[in-house]
Amino acid sequence: MSQSHSSPKFYTEALPLRGTPLDMLPGIRRIVANNPGPMTYHGTNTYLLDTGTGCIVVDPGPDDPVHIAAIHAATAGRIDAILLTHSHIDHVAGLPSLRGTIPVHAYFAPQEPDIAPDVPMRDGDTLAGWTAIHTPGHAGDHLCFARADGVVLSGDHIMGWSTTVVSPPHGDMAAYFASLDRMLTTGGHTYLPGHGPAITDPAAFTTALRGHRLAREAAILSALAAPMPIDALTQAVYVGLAPNLLQAAQRNVLSHLQKLLAEGRVEQVAGLWRPIR
């Protein structure tokens, strides 16, 4: 959801080579899957983390034989573990094709029932020097992974190319704010997101994302001068947004409204939303 007022300064990159591992940082490579779209940018990032004896594959991506073959080729078949940031389909659809007997590490309570981790992870658990940080908001089962040297795998929680869709019921705007605040205390100098290029000023960028969400919340409250249904409210707040993004925008608006409802600042009556004066 990259179009809005008060947006952060987003990162862009040229279309990466498909199937070719890109060196990101020492011991970290990226293969960009061929599933581009308005929610995925150039495609899902699959990261390969060198362990010395093999690799950890972070987010297998789509169920694309070419992409899965590229992962196998880049790792020479030496995959020690698969690590999932969250269970959205663009990150895990390729898991059955890649998995075999490779242990899967993921949040202990995945949103998708078909994702059964071999090693259930909770906040603070570690794998090969990467520490799990539970960051619900975009997804209830979302994990970021931080390394002591300041590198963070930020998944879809914080992406440089766009803001993040927070879609109920698994998406939760109040949790998203709390997770942003937590990441601001975690530190780190480079974030490697689930889509798009590396984020090299994560503190400033995360602060800007938080400010953007607060501005969106203020715009929603301002638009509710009269009671409105959510579709009209979305049109009023996301002026000029491309039609193919309106559904995702409405999910964000709903998540904001649910947060404001829990805070006692809005109410819904007969399908119309209105502020509580």
Q: Which residues are catalytic?
A: 90
For the chain, the residue count is 277
3-state secondary structure of 69: helix
| 85 neighbors 65 (Cβ within 8 angstroms) | no
Q: How far apart are CA 259 and CA 263, in angstroms?
A: 6
* Rg of the Cα atoms in the chain: 19
SS3 105: strand
Instruction: Indicate the Cα dihedral angle 104, 110, 116, 118, nearest 10°.
Output: 40
User: Within 10 Å of residue 51's Cβ, how many Cβ atoms?
Assistant: 16
DSSP class of residue 245 equals G
Cross-strand bridge partners of residue 183? none
